[in-house]
Amino acid sequence: MKQELIFLGPPACGKGTQTEKLAKYLNLPHIDTGSLLRAEIKKQTPEGKLADSYISKGQLVPVDLVGKIIGLRVEQEDCKNGFILDGYPRSIEQAEILEKINQKINKNVETDFRAIYFDVDKDVLLSRIVNRRSCPKCGTIYNVKYHPPKADGICDECGTALVQRADDTEEIAKKRFETYFEQTAPVIDFYKSRNVLRTLDAHGSIDEVWERLKEAVK
């Protein structure tokens, strides 16, 4: 059976880390919307050029164009057994576009579609964000409170000095939460009404959440 999974959750809920682990575990492609758009722009595909014309002006890429790029990606051969979508959909409109994409690509194909919602308290999310540090060289992410490096401020993997993202401040984090819950949270109800939503307790360590996630996708 073809398995299609989408991950929903606010900033710092941990879905990015778990998506990478699950993609390897299930041997399914991990499709990150942001990375996909950047790849299309780099390859200078017709869709990529059009997306770049908006991004270069500081504008949002139209939902129809993002949907077309997603649709082309999930039609590729490596997605024949399924895929994991991260960062899409972010709105009811995008969720409806994804439904149309699936209706097109899954004709006469038995499919198990699930939306996994990473549920975490706002206070925990805020603490994760303001204490987050990352390696500018290899990309490894740490948390000075929950998952600190062995040497203070130094990456365990490559020895590079860690940095804090400019938007990892309490003020900006709170605004990001407001935006998320206003725009994306309704998608949770959208999938709940279709009986495909699985709510995951995303508190605790990476390993604890991982064990719960494996159960949620069985």
Query: Which residues does the annotation mark as catalytic?
Result: 15, 90, 132, 165, 176
Helix, strand, coil share (%) of the chain residues, nearest 5: 50, 20, 35
For residue 217, the SS3 value is coil
Can you spell out the DSSP letters for 151-179? BTTB-TTT-PBPB--TT-SHHHHHHHHHH
Backbone torsion region of residue 55, taken as left when φ is above 0, otherwise alpha when ψ lies between -120 and 50, otherwise beta: alpha
Q: What is the DSSP letter of 61?
A: P
Q: How far, CA to CA in Å, does 137 sit from each of 36, 93, 159, 163, 174? A: 21, 37, 9, 10, 28
Residue 117 pairs in a beta bridge with 8, 199
Half-sphere exposure of 30 toward its Cβ, with a 13 Å CA cutoff? Answer: 17
Tokens of 184: 């994306």
Q: Determine the Cα–Cα distance for residues 52 and 46; give it in Å rounded to an integer.
A: 10
Tell me which residue has tokens 């490894």: 140
